[in-house]
Amino acid sequence: MRFPMPNDAPIGPGRPKDLAKREAILEAAKSLFLSLGYANTSMDAVASAAGVSKLTVYSHFTDKQTLFAAAVMATCQIQLPDLIFAYPDGVPVEEVLLKIARGFQALISSDEAVKLSRLIMAQGSHDPGFGQYFYEAGPKQVLAGMEALLRQADERGLLRIENPLHAAEHFFCLVKGAPDYRLLLGCAGPLEGEAAEAHVREVVGVFVRAYRL
């Protein structure tokens, strides 16, 4: 089963009040999905928690699947806004990659992200299409941004990358690594401070050496 991608833009003229309601709906949805699970979260509950009518929720998000997808995308973009994948002139490739690695490591280590990952795994056993839906709503968007950036690095002669998509996957898998696996299992806490910085610097070093000209 293939789920539709969300319409991330609010319906209507986009007045500040409309945008405020949309943000309230997203915050309420994220909180309820993570605390109650996907199946136990209703549009009525989201409307009540956001302090808006059910009709208002549906005017911004056509159904629960669309709302969930938008909540996932919003969570990712808090730590990894689209502009982070831009390649400023004159900035060393290592610095660009470090900025992305820091943002991604902070994202996957956040309490929200850990709860969301566990929710996806639990829900996926009940609905095989749910994992694909989550992937397209969140991780796929992040990979697309990284793929485009690495293609630029190759075109500018900064790195030699024959397959930018595969390289993007390698990069994020390196950042996640064993620390994220232990975190998801609940047998270790998130990397923080100097430990987190040492990890991302090591990852970027390994990645650059692998793709250096």
Q: Which residue, 26, 41, 72, sits at the end of a domain?
A: 72
Domain containing residue 175: 80-211
The per-residue DSSP string of 5-74 comes to PP--SPSSS--HHHHHHHHHHHHHHHHHHHHH-STT--HHHHHHHHTS-HHHHHHH-SSHHHHHHHHHHH
pLDDT digits (tens, 9 = 90+) for 70-104: 888 887 777 777 778 988 888 999 999 999 999 99
Q: Which residue, 43, 72, 101, sits at the end of a domain?
A: 72
Contacts of 114 (CB under 8 A, 6+ apart): 108, 183, 184, 190
| 145 vs 86: CA distance, rounded Å | 9
pLDDT digits (tens, 9 = 90+) for 1-54: 444 444 444 444 556 668 999 999 999 999 999 889 888 999 999 999 999 999
| CATH number of the domain encompassing residue 182 | 1.10.357.10
Closest by alpha carbon to 37, among 122, 128, 110?
A: 122
Q: Does residue 146 share a domain with residue 50?
A: no
Q: Which residue, 51, 72, 93, sits at the end of a domain?
A: 72
Q: How many domains does the chain have?
A: 2
Q: Does residue 38 share a domain with residue 110?
A: no
